[in-house]
């Protein structure tokens, strides 16, 4: 116990130092920018102070970050988590950054027509009919940007709004792209259900009691109902899976609606090709009673 405590204290001190230093680095950068925009600092003075103060701060921040996060590596952990999962767990303050990294990574994978799947896995998508929303949001964002460009007279603000709009569009596209590059999949002995970058549940195929076509129009968003998990968005569900033993599930719902230690006895979900999905599972398709 004493040894564990001695290992935790340096880690805690490093985390505190990392957070404090990042706050100072950001504060200095914002201060220099504000003083320059307000006319208190000329461009040359602001640049000189940036090189003299901010650059060393950034270098020290990089060193501390490597010391703190370098031990994670970039390989999958023994528990199946990847580098970003472990980074998010270690530093909750980085969750927005991790979300952005995942979104943009997914977008690049979609452009390259690649998916994140283990060798030999049979994928099953669940995105058909859900890509209308990001397309509409992209068009609206571009129209809004054009209107703002006409109405806003300050060039610097136009540039800021342009950057924010482009970033927002790519983030939205990347958010939905994560569901394309990380489909559900079935291996030789396990079923894996996903929701974007998160794995919702995994179950041995031997634990599947029954699987069948079942349309459920009651929900078009993920829900928890007792021991039932509804896994769909903008679509009616079209498959029902029942398990022999309840399966731990990380349901993609708000935390206040997610019971502690939730286990799913059955899952209603939407898949793009339900017939192929049913045939990939061990239980033959059949009609289930309500």
Residue 205 near residue 190 (C-beta atoms within 8 A): yes
Return the pLDDT at 284.
Answer: 47
Say if strands 184-186 and 263-269 run parallel, antiparallel, or are unpaired: unpaired
Within this chain, do residues 118 and 63 fall inside the same structural domain, yes or no? no
Write the CA distances from 139 to 103, 129, 134, 173, 174, integer angstroms. Answer: 19, 17, 9, 12, 16
- How does DSSP classify residue 255? G
Within this chain, do residues 190 and 143 fall inside the same structural domain, yes or no? no
Q: Read off the pLDDT of residues 221-265 as tens digits, 9 standing for 90 and up.
A: 899 998 999 998 888 899 999 999 999 999 888 888 888 889 999
Integer Cα distance of 199 and 67 in angstroms: 29
Of the residues 181, 210, 226, which one is the last residue of a structural domain? 181
The whole-model pTM stands at 0.70
Within this chain, do residues 173 and 143 fall inside the same structural domain, yes or no? yes
Within this chain, do residues 259 and 240 fall inside the same structural domain, yes or no? yes
Integer Cα distance of 161 and 159 in angstroms: 5
Domain around 43: 2-72
The residues facing 41 across adjacent strands are: none
Q: Read off the pLDDT of residues 105-144 as tens digits, 9 standing for 90 and up.
A: 888 888 888 888 989 899 999 988 777 777 787 788 888 8
Return the pLDDT at 240.
Answer: 94
Within a domain: residue 68? yes
Of the residues 181, 204, 227, which one is the last residue of a structural domain? 181
Of the residues 155, 181, 207, which one is the last residue of a structural domain? 181
Structure-derived torsion over alpha carbons of residues 30, 34, 35, 39, reported in degrees to the nearest 10: 160
Query: In 3D, which of 79, 123, 172 has the Cα closest to residue 272?
Result: 123
Return the pLDDT at 9.
Answer: 54
Q: Extract the residue ranges of the chain whose pLDDT is less than 50.
A: 1-8, 74-81, 284-290
Domains contained in the chain, number: 3
Tell me how many degrees the CA angle 81-241-243 measures, rounded to the nearest 5: 75
Within this chain, do residues 170 and 250 fall inside the same structural domain, yes or no? no
Integer Cα distance of 199 and 270 in angstroms: 16
Within this chain, do residues 205 and 271 fall inside the same structural domain, yes or no? yes
Within a domain: residue 93? no
249's enclosing H/E stretch is none
Return the pLDDT at 71.
Answer: 63
Within this chain, do residues 175 and 206 fall inside the same structural domain, yes or no? no
Within this chain, do residues 194 and 259 fall inside the same structural domain, yes or no? yes
Residue 231 near residue 277 (C-beta atoms within 8 A): no
Tokens standing for 105? Answer: 């990574």
Within a domain: residue 90? no
Within a domain: residue 100? no
Within a domain: residue 288? no
Within this chain, do residues 151 and 189 fall inside the same structural domain, yes or no? no
């Amino acid at each position: 116990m004493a040894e564990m405590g001695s290992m935790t204290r340096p880690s805690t001190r490093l985390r505190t130092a990392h957070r404090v230093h990042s706050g100072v680095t950001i504060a200095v950068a914002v201060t220099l920018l504000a003083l320059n925009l307000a006319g208190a600092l000329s461009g040359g003075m602001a640049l000189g102070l940036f090189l003299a103060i901010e650059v060393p701060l950034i270098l020290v921040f990089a060193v501390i970050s490597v010391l703190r996060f370098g031990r994670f590596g970039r390989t999958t952990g023994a528990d199946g988590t990847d580098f970003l999962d472990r980074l998010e767990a270690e530093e909750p303050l980085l969750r927005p950054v991790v979300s952005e990294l995942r979104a943009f990574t997914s977008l690049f994978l979609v452009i390259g027509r690649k998916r994140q799947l283990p060798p030999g896995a049979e994928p099953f998508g669940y995105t058909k009919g859900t890509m209308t929303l990001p397309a509409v949001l992209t068009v609206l964002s571009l129209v809004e940007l054009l209107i703002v460009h006409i109405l806003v007279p300050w060039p610097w603000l136009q540039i800021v709004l342009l950057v924010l709009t482009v970033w927002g569009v790519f983030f939205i596209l990347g958010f939905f792209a994560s569901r394309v590059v990380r489909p559900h999949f079935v291996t030789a002995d396990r079923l894996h259900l996903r929701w974007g970058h998160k794995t919702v549940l995994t179950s041995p195929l031997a634990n599947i009691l029954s699987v069948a076509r079942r349309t459920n129009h009651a929900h078009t968003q993920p829900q928890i109902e007792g021991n039932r998990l509804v896994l769909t968005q903008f679509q009616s569900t079209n498959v029902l899976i029942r398990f022999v033993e309840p399966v731990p599930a990380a349901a993609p719902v708000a935390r206040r609606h997610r019971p502690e230690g939730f286990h799913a006895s059955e899952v209603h979900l939407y898949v793009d090709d339900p017939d192929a999905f049913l045939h990939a599972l061990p239980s033959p398709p059949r009609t289930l009673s309500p």
